[in-house]
Each structure stands twice: as C-alpha cells, then as structure tokens.
Structure 1
Amino acid sequence: MTEEQMNRVLNTKHHHDSSKKSAIELSKQMQKIMLKLKGEFIQEDGKGVNYAGMKDSALFQDYIDNVAPQLQHVDLDNITEYEKKAFFINIYNALTIHGLASLAELPQSVLKVKHFWATTCYNIGGLVYSLDDVEHGILRGNRGHPSTIEPTFKTDDPRLKFIVNELDPRIHFALVCGAKSCPAINVYSAENLDQALDAATRSFCAQEVSMFTETNEIWLSKIFQWYSQDFGRTDIDVMKWTVPYLEKSVQDRAHLLLTKLEKVSPVDVKYNEYDWSLNCPRPTLNSAGIHPNDLMERENNRS
C-alpha cells in the first residue's frame, strides 16, 4: 500500500469496542445510518448530495466516529453471496460520499481529485480496500479496471477470498461514483437485493437507454461501453441484456432494432455523454441569476 493510500484510509479512528463484529449486524447498522443520511442530505431522486451540509452534521460525525471505524473489526467469513454483495455495494457508496465530504474543498468534478478511486480507502476486517478494489476486485469478481486486462487482486492477495463469485451486471446501476450521470443513490439489504437491483436497473435504463427506429439509432449510457464485457461480447449481447429492463414501448423498438442488427443491417449504437460534474445540488439563484451568498457579499462590499 502506498503512502498516498495510507493517507486516504478514512476509518482509522480508534473505536472503544475492538472485538470482532458480525458483518450482518454491522451491515444493518450501516444501512440504518445511511438511510438517515439519505433522508437528510440526499435529494429525493437519489441524484444529488448536499456534501457541505452533511459534512457539518452530527449525524455524519456519528457515522465517522462510531460506525465506519467498526469496519476495521468486521468478520466477513461465512456470509452469503447476497449479504456480501449488499454489504460491499453499500460500502462503495458510503466510501464515495465519505471521501468527497472529507475533502478540504469540494471539486467541480470527481475527476479533479487525483487518483480518487485508487486512493480513497476503508480498512475492512484488517485489510485495506480502495473504491477500485471494492468495485473491480470484489463486486466484479476480480476483473480488471476497464483500462487494463490485469486482475485487480494478485493470486496471493488475502482479499481474494471475499470476491463475489458470479458477476451481476446490475451492480453498475447501484454504484455511485460521485458524478451527475451516475445512478441514483440507494441503500441495499440482502433480504430484497434482487428486487432492489432490478428496480435500480430499470430506473437507470429509463433515463439512459433510447431506441430510435426512425433513424436506426440506439443510444446507451457509456457504462455499457466501458463495461461491455460484463454485459456480453457484442452490441447485440448488450442490447439483449437491456431489453428485460426497458419499458414496454421501448422494448418493442428494441426488438425491431435487434432484428436489424442480427441481419447486419445498418444500426448505429451511440453513447450518451457522461456528465462528470459533482453530484451535488446546484446553488439556488435569484431571479437575476445571482446566488444569495454572492448578493450578500456584494452588499457588504458596498457598506
């Protein structure tokens, strides 16, 4: 682990109880506080986070002081695949929010934070996991980052024992990386994980998948391009994967375009621009297009 990573392990605070923690019980504790944080500081549609307000809240401080540090002592042995998947999806989203809220100054885009996904980490059960480790190592079954073919964990890595055995592509619509084009933030539990992932996938596809039979065009989120290997080998495979999650009218158009694709007819598969702007609400402007704080500063300068 690099020194830079050491500096970004965000849950190293000492906790009064250092005994082993049940992953199931700690997961429930995390779900509870994450739901409270969502209710207070995340937009109803799950697409925007009030990082500034959350950072100064007693609720977030409670998470930092009393919940996140317990992850250092969590026991991940003997949990089911569903429990593991829900646990690490919630970890990823909590760590993203924690990582951004802990910055001295919020960036306009998460891309402006150097090596954010590689160096924003939690100690989980005595092992350090970055956001990349959680996504590609654990949840994608030790596949490589889209920019490399190398697996995330090497053969002697102790974290290998905790990887999800079967890749579930629906995770891509549950993981939130801090950008406006990311899926909505939700809190997941093992008990209803399938239904929740289905709902997250349908919601994302409703916004990011479009079929135009008039122009023979298919428009998809870039997630389908970056992680195409997770959905299939070809455009046809990716298209077929999306169909069950589309609304009926879109499904009908998808079937027509799929038929054309299979007959090697000209169909353009295009990808929506990904908005990497930070997923925080924009400041409210007055009727003159001026932020209230700027207006106040202007008035103070006059006096």
Structure 2
Amino acid sequence: MEPEYNILNHTKDAANLQETVPPLDISLKLQRSMLQLKGHHMTEDGRGIDYERLRESELFREYIDLSTRLVTCDPSSLDHTHKMAFFINIYNSLTIHGLAASEELPSSVLGVEQFWQKTAYDIGGLVYSLDDIEHGVLRGNKPHPSASKRPFSEDDPRAKISLKSCDPRIHFALVCGAKSCPAIQVYSGTNLELALNSAATNFCSQEVEVTAGGVVISKIFHWYASDFGATEKELLQWVCQYLPVSKQEQLEKLLASGHSVEVKSRDYDWKLNKL
C-alpha cells in the first residue's frame, strides 16, 4: 500500500507556478537559502539546529516559498554529479522543513509516525518522500535495509531519476534529524567530490574507534553494510581510507594480521538534533 504523503511544498497559488524553473537555477537558490538558514539557526559545525527560532524566522518563510518552485522543476536533465548534489540538499532541506513544520517538536524523530515514509516534496509533478530520495534516488533504487522490494518499480516515472550507482559517501551527507547523524552541509555540483570526501573523513574520524582487538563503528555501517562492500573486511577496508593516519595504520595492521577483527556498533543517539 502506498503511503499517504505529507507534501510540504504544495501551494494554493498555482497560477504563479506555470513557468518551469531550470533545475540548476532552483538548486542554486536552495543552496543559498540553506546557507543563510545554517548561518543564522545552526551551530557552526552543522550538528545542532535551533528549530524554534528557525521556524519563526523570515528566512524560513522565504525558504518555504522557494520550495514551492520545485513543483515545476524537472531534475531529469541534470547530470550525475549535479543530480546527486541536488537531491542531497533536498533531503536535508526536507528533513528540516518537516521537523520545523511539526505542531510540537518531538524529542526524537522516531516519535513522528512514519516521518521518512510520509514527509515529501512534489518535484516536477512527482512526489518524493525522504525514503524515496534516499533509497530510490541516491542509493540507485536499492531496497531500504528493512525491506526486500525496490522503492520504484520499472514503470514508476521516478525510476528514471534514480542514480545509476550508489556512492556510500552519501550516508555522511544525509541528515535524518538525530544527534548521531552527520553534520549538515550544503553541496553543489562543483564541490561535490571534495565535500563528500570531507564529510566521510569527518564522520569516520569521529565515529570509528580502533582498538588493539577490534573496531567500534557507527550503526550506519551496520545498516548499510552492502553499500560499503560485499564482506565485513571490504567494509573495513573502505572505512580505513577515511581515517586519520594513526587509526589507519592501526586498522591496516589488524586487517593484515590474519586474525578475525571484532567489529562492534556504537549506540545511535536518536534524540532530536536541536539546540
């Protein structure tokens, strides 16, 4: 059964939305808007948001108005890099919009019923929830970790928007509204490679601990293990490249020892990433 979407960017003033907006134009405007919101209502490191002040601000009202332009935006013309940047920004913007629009801020995003399945934008006449964006578009139409079915069927027009492959670094760019989520950044087609490398490096440096007997990692690596490698060793080899030199050397020594490496997942803090 299809979810009952909560579409946040529909407007009654449809007469003003007849002109199609080029996706690169709307992407640039959204980037600028998010940078302004980040500068005024988020911590410098991007890990905390003042939702109360944000949702009362003129900047947020301007962002909401701008989000209605997505209805006339067709992202199918974007190349792989610009499409990835576009949908990462949309995912993070939609998360913030969805939480800020709540009648009462939850203590945890888990307290909002089907938040990721229902919270959605209309983009070019097609509806995308947070789950649709993450799994259907950015992960290359791969099933949710708890599902076996692909998000988009072959005859779903959104399937044409899906990226052809999954870049695991997206997991360190997408912000789900929890304290253990990665930091909020704003991405563009021109800075995407460097920005994703930076996001992966920052996250792995903070969330991966290498000890004499094993490794402690974020649950993100557990949930999306297949995105990082076919085996646990391949996952750790992937992680290794984004660690500081000292941790990298430790992990390389463990992997080369021939002994099994104990891998544990640290607890995930689902409390809302609010100030």
TM-score by length of 2: 0.97
In structure 2, the residue matched to 1:284 is none
Q: Are 1:236 and 2:233 matched, yes or no?
A: yes
In structure 1, the residue matched to 2:207 is 208
| Aligned AA (1:200) | A
Deviation readout 1:217-271 (Å, 9 max, x if unpaired): 20000000000000012110100001111100000001011123xx2x2431001
- Alpha carbons 2:88, 2:173 under 8 Å: kept: yes
SS in 2 for 1:128: strand
Q: In the superposition, relative to structure 1, how do residues 2 and 155 fare at CA in structure 2: closer, same or farther (>3 Å)?
A: closer
SS in 2 for 1:156: coil
Q: Which has the higher contact order (CA 8 A, sep 6+)?
A: 2
Alignment of 1:83-162 (within 5 A): 83-162=82-161
SS in 2 for 1:218: strand
SS in 2 for 1:68: helix
Distance 2:122 2:254 in 1: 47
Distance 1:69 1:139 in 2: 22
Distance 1:108 1:124 in 2: 29
In structure 1, the residue matched to 2:9 is 11
SS in 2 for 1:176: coil
| Aligned AA (2:74) | D
Distance 1:158 1:219 in 2: 40
In structure 1, the residue matched to 2:197 is 198
Give the Å deviation of 1:4: 3.1
Q: Are 1:23 and 2:20 matched, yes or no?
A: no
| Aligned AA (1:58) | E
Give the Å deviation of 1:54: 0.4
In structure 2, the residue matched to 1:251 is 248
More divergent stretch after superposition (15-24 vs 265-274): 15-24
Structure 2 unmatched ranges of 5 or more: none
More divergent stretch after superposition (191-200 vs 14-23): 14-23
Give the Å deviation of 1:3: 7.3
Q: Are 1:217 and 2:214 matched, yes or no?
A: yes
In structure 2, the residue matched to 1:279 is 273
Give the Å deviation of 1:2: 5.3
TM-score by length of 1: 0.88
In structure 2, the residue matched to 1:166 is 165
SS in 2 for 1:19: coil
- Alpha carbons 1:211, 1:250 under 8 Å: kept: yes
Q: Are 1:55 and 2:49 matched, yes or no?
A: no
- Alpha carbons 2:17, 2:72 under 8 Å: kept: no
Give the Å deviation of 1:99: 0.2
RMSD: 1.1
Distance 1:75 1:62 in 2: 21
SS in 2 for 1:190: coil
- Alpha carbons 2:3, 2:118 under 8 Å: kept: no
- Alpha carbons 1:18, 1:70 under 8 Å: kept: no
Distance 1:236 1:76 in 2: 37
- Alpha carbons 1:122, 1:129 under 8 Å: kept: yes
Give the Å deviation of 1:113: 0.4
| Aligned AA (2:224) | Y
Count of residue pairs brought into register by the alignment: 273
**Higher radius of gyration, 1 or 2:** 1
Task: Percent identity, please.
Answer: 49
Q: In the superposition, relative to structure 1, how do residues 249 and 116 fare at CA in structure 2: closer, same or farther (>3 Å)?
A: same
